[in-house]
Amino acid sequence: MIAPKKVVITGASGRIGYQLVFLIAQGLLLGADQPIILCMLEKESNQQKCRGIQMELEDSIFPLLRAVHYTHDLDCAFTGADYVFFCGAKTCHDPKTRALVQAENWEALTLQGETINRVCSHQTLFLMVANPCNTNTLALIKAAPNIPPMNFHSMMRLDLNRARQFIAEKAQCLSQDVEHMLIWGNHSPRVVPDWSHVKIMASPISLLVDNNWLSSHFIHAVQKRGMAITQNMGLSSCASAAYAAIEAMKALIVPTAQNSFFCTGMYSSSNPFEFDQDLVFGLPCRTITRGVYEICEDYSPHPLLKELIKCSEAELLEERARLKK
């Protein structure tokens, strides 16, 4: 008899959280044999929405789903958690009030981090999806000093997926044929996709894709993809973000294949690339065993991209300064 794993989703009634609960219930995160207990953490005013989602999950009769709970109590939600996805945060598109909204989010995340510090084990894995996800993750790390920083990650997978798809379209191949893509820095319009180590069906990218296109159109396309989706839909990415969150967490669970790596937003302490040591920064790594990984030192940034990466780092430093106030 396989014991169920508890998966917590904060902001579960939001657009991404709602998509995510069904992907997890189907077994896309932990596989076809692993029973699941789902816990939805939402503010008190959204508890009725969670009841509706619970009813939908019950009606879907997912064979792996052993129980569905919802709560606004932090201790109840995080106690016994094996995996936590953070999707809940206030959003703001007005630059004039963004700093205030971010401060409110960081205050809420600090309370969540303090609870995690008390009730979660050193084996619990955490993935931040809510933006600004890198600095949101840093807020959790600072509030939960008893939990290893390597357990906390921010989602860079959506940037990675977008970069691979753009190159696949240009090279007229499948996205899974595009390997060794790097994503540096912040998950924001200043994210830096790096093609310098990419191979397409084992061939160097330079044989198949024009370097001028890569150094201009490609970078801007990846950086502006989120805005392009919002302009077309009137809403930000949702389904693709939920699927990327599943892939991002799975990468931390399943050992990475030999001669491969993935990119994640991780605590930058002891990074070998001379980036600031106290940020959550997009870096290449490989999973050794569940929750244990190493930074891939062999994959250094493209020299042409160093200034762009510095700009991304500067943005994170500015966010960290606001976080500390």
Task: Given the residues 153, 180, 187, 197, select the one marked as catalytic.
Answer: 187
Question: What 8-state DSSP symbol labels residue 67?
Answer: E
| N-to-C CA span, the chain | 49
Residue 118 annotated as lining a ligand binding site: no
Record the tokens describing residue 211, joined without a space. 């370097």
Residue 186 marked as a ligand binder: no
How far is 9 from 88, CA to CA, in rounded Å?
8
Query: Is 130 annotated in some ligand binding site?
Result: yes
131 is in an annotated binding site: yes
At 42, list the tokens. Answer: 């939402």
d(CA 12, CA 95): 26
Look up 217 and say whether it is catalytic. no
Provide Rg for the chain, Cα atoms.
19
Residue 25 assigned to a binding site = no
Answer yes or no: is 12 a known binding residue: yes
DSSP state of 304: G
Q: Report whether 291 belongs to an annotated binding site.
A: no
The response to whether 16 counts as a known ligand-binding position is: yes
Residue 105 annotated in ligand binding: yes
Q: Which amino acid is at 4?
A: P
Q: Looking at this protein, which amino acid is placed at residue 62?
A: F
Task: Give CA–CA dist 2/65, Å, rounded.
Answer: 13
Answer yes or no: is 290 a known binding residue: no
> How would DSSP label each residue in 70-96?
EES-HHHHHTT-SEEEE--------TT
CB 153 within 8 A of CB 266: yes
Per the annotation, does 134 bind a ligand? no
- Which segments are annotated as binding site for NAD(+)? 11-17, 105, 129-131
- Which segments are annotated as binding site? 11-17, 105, 129-131
User: Which are the catalytic amino acids?
Assistant: 187
